[in-house]
Amino acid sequence: MRKGVVVTIEIPGGTQEQYEETTRLIQGAEWFPPQGFIAHASGPDGSGGWRITDFFDSEENFLAFVEKARPMFEQSGMPPVMPNFQPAVNVITG
């Protein structure tokens, strides 16, 4: 079994355009994929914002990723957000 953390980020008012620009910048970074990265999913949250769900092997590796990506978030206009961490008992990827 693969364990880790589920990271959920709610971005009120976040747009698909902001998300896609941020993703383009991050995927172009020399350090992508970040250490501990397992999987990522995102989409509209149903109330006019954007939701991101990431799976990392640890909270520490996710936070290290955020520090590297912070300038990219700012460049694309993403507002500062607080991630919500939950333990993942099992992560299955294809």
Q: What is the pLDDT of residues 25-34, one digit of tens each?
A: 999 999 999 9
Domains and CATH numbers, the chain: 4-87 (3.30.70.100)
DSSP state of 51: E
Q: pTM of the entire structure?
A: 0.90
Q: Roughly what angle, to the nearest 10 degrees, separates helices 16-27 and 59-75?
A: 110
Residue with tokens 């990827």: 93
Instruction: Tell me the mean pLDDT in the region 7-20.
Output: 94
Dihedral sign from CA coordinates of 72, 74, 75, 76:
positive
Residues facing 86 on adjacent strands: 6
